[in-house]
Amino acid sequence: MKKSSVVFRAAAVGAALCLTLALAGCGADSYASSTAYMTAGATDYGTSAKMAPEEAGQGVQLDTDSTLDPRQAQEGRKIIYTASLSMESTDFEGTRAALLTAVEDCDGYLESTSQGGSAEYGTRYVSYTARIPAERYREFLGLADEAGNVLYLNENAQDITSSYVDVEARLAALKEQRDRLNALADKAETTADLLEIESQLSEVQYQIESYTSQMRLMDNQVGYSTVDIQLEEVRTLTP
């Protein structure tokens, strides 16, 4: 091969690597910004649906026609629905069993649970964090309302559509960048060039895995609503 041809090819590979380095730097900066919603919080799409009643012991009637309903969300939007319930019951075991049945019937699962108190003194309590398929979120709240006396209900919806679309676009760009680097690796004529390209491929692949993990997390949060439940036992007073 002529010396001028080698020099030209080396220069071309070097220029391509410079462009790739610039893109990788932009990708790293954009990754930090696109994950901001995870620490700072997504856009508040809704407010508290119900507040605690002023008189102790007064129940809250759940609004089954609430606008915070995943079934009514605009198509294509990525919205995370969450709710917090505070309940009491004189039939502690019955209410707890009904709540667990409701989770199962709605194809959900318990993410965490804790309990304490004394059955002898009627001071038992249990806390659940339930993950419910978004399309059955409203149905589950209705079943919880039937299981015991709801003292407090707070609902919230966070629209993360812009963050999701941003991550999706950057992931696609990184995959294209990976393809370009693989093409350059096939044309590399020196070990030094190949090692540099492989180093960039490693960095790009790391960012791809990070974005992919973030998208999976967002998909899970959107697909499964989170409902925190606090149930406390109330003793029946005898004359």
Please tell me the distance from the alpha carbon of residue 50 to that of residue 58, in angstroms, as a whole number: 13
Identify the residue whose tokens are 């709801």. 150
Reported as a single tens digit per residue, the pLDDT across 34-73 is 444 443 344 444 433 433 333 334 455 555 455 566 665 5
Give the residue from 153, 181, 157 showing the smallest Cα distance to 84.
Answer: 153
- The per-residue pLDDT for 34 is 43
- β pairing state of 43-44 and 149-159: antiparallel
Burial class for 72, CB neighbours closer than 10 Å (0-12, 13-18, 19+) = exposed
DSSP element (H, E) containing 208 = helix 191-223
What tokens were used for 77?
């939007």
What average pLDDT is seen over the chain? Answer: 79
Instruction: Determine whether 145 is exposed, middle or buried from the number of CB atoms within 10 Å of its CB (0-12, 13-18, 19+).
Output: buried
pLDDT for 188:
86
- Burial classification of residue 41, based on how many CB atoms lie within 10 Å of its CB (0-12 exposed, 13-18 middle, 19 or more buried): exposed
For residue range 70-112, list pLDDT tens digits in order: 665 567 899 999 999 999 999 999 999 999 999 999 999 999 9
pLDDT at 120: 86
State how far the Cα of 197 lies from the Cα of 1, in Å rounded to an integer.
23
Residue in 107, 149, 108 with CA at minimum distance from that of residue 128: 108
pLDDT by residue (tens digit) across 124-160?
999 999 999 999 999 999 999 999 999 999 999 999 9
- Taking 80 as the threshold, does the pLDDT of residue 25 lie above it? no
Sheet containing strand 79-89, edge to edge, reads 43-44, 149-159, 79-89, 224-233, 125-133, 109-116
41: left (phi over 0), alpha (psi -120 to 50) or beta: left
Q: Please report the pLDDT score of residue 66 as a whole number.
A: 53
Q: What's the DSSP call for residue 147?
A: H
| CB crowding 193-216: b at 16 or more within 10 Å, else e | bbebbeebbebbeebbebbeebee
Q: Which tokens is 56 given?
A: 């102790």
Q: What is the pTM of this model?
A: 0.69
**What tokens were used for 167?**
């991550």
Instruction: Give per-residue pLDDT as tens, 191-217.
Output: 998 999 999 999 999 999 999 999 999
Amino acid code (one letter) for 10? A
> What is the C-alpha end-to-end distance of the chain, expressed in Å?
105
Answer yes or no: is pLDDT of 166 > 90: yes
